Amino acid sequence: MSKIHALSEQLTNIIAAGEVVERPMGVVKELVENSIDANATHIEVMITQGGLESIVVSDDGQGIDPEDVALAFKRHSTSKISHHDDLLKLSTHGFRGEALPSIASVSNCICITNNGESATKAHISYGKTIEIAPTFASKGTTMRIEGLFLKTPARLKHMKSIPYENALILDVMQKFALSYPNIAFSLTIDDKKVLETRGATLEDVIYRIYGKDVAQHTHYFEAVHHDFKVKGVIGAPHLHRASRKDMVVFTNSRMIRSTSMSKAIIEGMASYIPKDRYPFAIVFIEMDQHLLDVNVHPSKWEVRISKEKELQLWLSQTISQVISKKPITKPVVLSPIQSEYHEPLSMINELDHSMIHQSMPSMHSNVMEVKEEKITSQPNEPKRATVLAQLHKKYILASTHEGLIILDQHAAMERIRFEYYLKQYQDTQHMSAKLMPLVIEDPKALLLKDELIQTFSLINIHVEQLHEHALVIREVPSWLTQVNEEEVIQDVVTLLSEGTMRKQDILHRLLATLACHSSIRFNDQLSMAQMQKIVDDLFLCDQPYHCPHGRPTMMNVTLETLYKEFGR
């Protein structure tokens, strides 16, 4: 008896679904792409229970003709291409004709569509057609997906928490909104509207997604090469992020994941941000369709770009030119010095030194508040390294009895601040409160509310729900100074939404994040006194040689090496 047989259509669709729609976010992506391909101007998405209970995508696009509805749910049926040549000049997101049959094979799917003349309803449940019949509806298409993966338990097992799935969906919707600012998008998760754009400009979308601080500190750019065009926005260096998440790249309006394009952005910004941090950048690359192969993976996240190396180099040079012409430090808002408040270093130069009279008694005292006369009275004078100069506003050169040490100023300061925060965390008597109502409206933070509350409670920061669309922090421990709380929250949200914060690492990551945000940066000009304070404080740390992320804080060149190299 023959052992080989063709698989049933239902089974091939389920297999395809594994690649096309790995998780609820994939379903949302495919359905919204169909709405965009149908020239919709309004696209509304509603999610319940991370998309596992239901996903509804409604659009006002051109709809599906009644005679095509059944076909739309058949594998490899598409209205978007007909000939091989069409693959070389694709202008639509879809072309494989796989999404609808795949989705309908792993869910209970109801489609209501109107092409402007007549309306049709199709009900397909886990691959079986239940009904296709005329109905009433306004122009456009509504796809309702229920009970996703309910009958494919292996797939269901891959799902992470509901907030995590929600965060992925929000992320993909934000990318659609960025690449199609002219379309009005809305996303409602469990009855809460978490994204709403008006179909206006990119500036408007950036403001709505990332908020005022980002919107005010982004630089728009455009450049042309003989094969490529690029435009987009780069965030000022201080907007650096904990992960690659806010480096968003589109090729011919498709969101893609591309290691080489991410590298180009990172390289372009390399001189301006710390090594283990990532730039904020939204980059739209346009090229002739002949140079772009999108038929690489069913979910279409990956593409093949001809002349990719050339593009990578040009993009990185373009970004580096753009950023080199912009002011690179964050404008500082002056506020009066209070008794236990310690001003950021960047402000010290601008302030009357007579105002700086506070000093913290702790051994990891605040490096920001430098008193010139203190330097001459350091107790550990045999151990001391004496600062010689600052190199390129990035490194501190200091002489020791063994030779020369070169310190990475940001890494050194991170170590000092990290140990300072660790000590404060362990030493609960410093827990009096500093009042600072801070309202958090970031939709991603709201989705991850419970995780956020738990994480911040570790360091006695109490996050509460203010109202449906906002959380609030009313007070922070008084030792938590110099930190830009909004940046820290943004980082923690990013780490939580990526699932990269392991429970056992949370406290370390949180303290490292605080340390990073309260440290002087690469490219901050320092006075001799400030540098000496950093060096002295670093040598008082328990682990002076590495920053909290494990990178070295200093290098040394011994006198012996110098004698040898100079042939003495």
Q: Which residues bind ligand ADP (CB under 6 A)?
A: 30, 34-35, 38, 59, 61-64, 72, 78-80, 94-100, 141
Which of ligand ADP, Mg ion, none does residue 72 bind (CB under 5 to 8 Å by kind)? ligand ADP
CB of 97 to Mg ion, least distance (A): 8
Q: Which residue has the tokens 């040490």?
A: 405
Does 140 bind Mg ion (CB under 5 A)? Our answer is: no
Burial class (CB in 10 A: 0-12, 13-18, 19+), 406: middle
CB of 10 to ligand ADP, least distance (A): 16
From 91-99, 276-284, 314-322, 468-476, span contacting Mg ion (CB under 5 A): 91-99
Which of Mg ion, ligand ADP, none does residue 97 bind (CB under 5 to 8 Å by kind)? ligand ADP
Nearest to ligand ADP by Cβ — which residue? 94
Does 34 bind Mg ion (CB under 5 A)? Our answer is: yes
- The count of chain residues that interact with Mg ion, using the rule CB under 5 A, is 3
CB of 9 to ligand ADP, least distance (A): 14
Order the strands of the 463-467 sheet from edge to edge: 433-440, 470-477, 463-467
Residue of 326, 249, 246, 250 whose CA lies nearest to 278: 246
Residue of 75, 80, 74, 68 whose CA lies nearest to 39: 80
- By the 8 A CB rule, do 522 and 240 touch? no
SS (H, E, C) 488-537: HHHHHHHHHHCCCCCHHHHHHHHHHHHHHHCCCCCCCCCCHHHHHHHHHH
Which of ligand ADP, Mg ion, none does residue 38 bind (CB under 5 to 8 Å by kind)? ligand ADP
CB of 207 to Mg ion, least distance (A): 30
Q: How far is CA 33 from CA 43, 184, 195, 504, in A?
A: 10, 14, 17, 39
When the beta carbons of 122 and 480 are compared against ligand ADP, the nearer one is 122
Does 94 bind Mg ion (CB under 5 A)? Our answer is: yes
Q: How far is CA 113 from CA 24, 120, 223, in A?
A: 22, 5, 41
- By the 8 A CB rule, do 303 and 296 touch? yes
CB of 115 to Mg ion, least distance (A): 17
DSSP 8-state class, residue 57: E
Which of Mg ion, ligand ADP, none does residue 64 bind (CB under 5 to 8 Å by kind)? ligand ADP
Which of Mg ion, ligand ADP, none does residue 434 bind (CB under 5 to 8 Å by kind)? none
- Residue 66, classed as helix, strand or coil, is helix
Q: What is the C-alpha to C-alpha distance for residues 102 and 244, in angstroms, rounded to an integer?
A: 30
CB of 94 to ligand ADP, least distance (A): 2
CB of 42 to ligand ADP, least distance (A): 12
From 99-107, 193-201, 270-278, 282-290, span contacting Mg ion (CB under 5 A): 99-107
One-character DSSP codes across 549-568: TS-BSEEEEEHHHHHHHTT-
When the beta carbons of 22 and 308 are compared against Mg ion, the nearer one is 22
When the beta carbons of 61 and 274 are compared against ligand ADP, the nearer one is 61
Q: What is the C-alpha to C-alpha distance for residues 271 and 523, in angstroms, rounded to an integer?
A: 9
Which of ligand ADP, Mg ion, none does residue 78 bind (CB under 5 to 8 Å by kind)? ligand ADP
Which of ligand ADP, Mg ion, none does residue 114 bind (CB under 5 to 8 Å by kind)? none
Does 477 bind Mg ion (CB under 5 A)? Our answer is: no
CB of 81 to Mg ion, least distance (A): 11
CB of 228 to Mg ion, least distance (A): 26
When the beta carbons of 78 and 262 are compared against ligand ADP, the nearer one is 78
Which of ligand ADP, Mg ion, none does residue 217 bind (CB under 5 to 8 Å by kind)? none
Does 99 bind Mg ion (CB under 5 A)? Our answer is: yes
Which of ligand ADP, Mg ion, none does residue 238 bind (CB under 5 to 8 Å by kind)? none
- By the 8 A CB rule, do 472 and 437 touch? yes
Strand partners, 123: 110, 131
CB of 137 to ligand ADP, least distance (A): 12
When the beta carbons of 16 and 168 are compared against ligand ADP, the nearer one is 16
Side-chain half-sphere exposure of 332, counting CA atoms within 13 A: 17
Q: If you compute the radius of gyration of the chain from its CA atoms, what whole number of angstroms results?
A: 28
Q: How far is CA 386 from CA 1, 125, 213, 310, 396, in A?
A: 87, 75, 39, 46, 10
Does 62 bind Mg ion (CB under 5 A)? Our answer is: no
CB of 72 to ligand ADP, least distance (A): 3
Which of ligand ADP, Mg ion, none does residue 295 bind (CB under 5 to 8 Å by kind)? none
Q: What is the C-alpha to C-alpha distance for residues 330 and 56, in angstroms, rounded to an integer?
A: 42
Q: What is the C-alpha to C-alpha distance for residues 400 and 396, in angstroms, rounded to an integer?
A: 13
Q: What is the C-alpha to C-alpha distance for residues 316 and 241, in angstroms, rounded to an integer?
A: 18
When the beta carbons of 301 and 341 are compared against Mg ion, the nearer one is 301
When the beta carbons of 69 and 194 are compared against ligand ADP, the nearer one is 69
Residues that bind Mg ion (CB under 5 A): 34, 94, 99
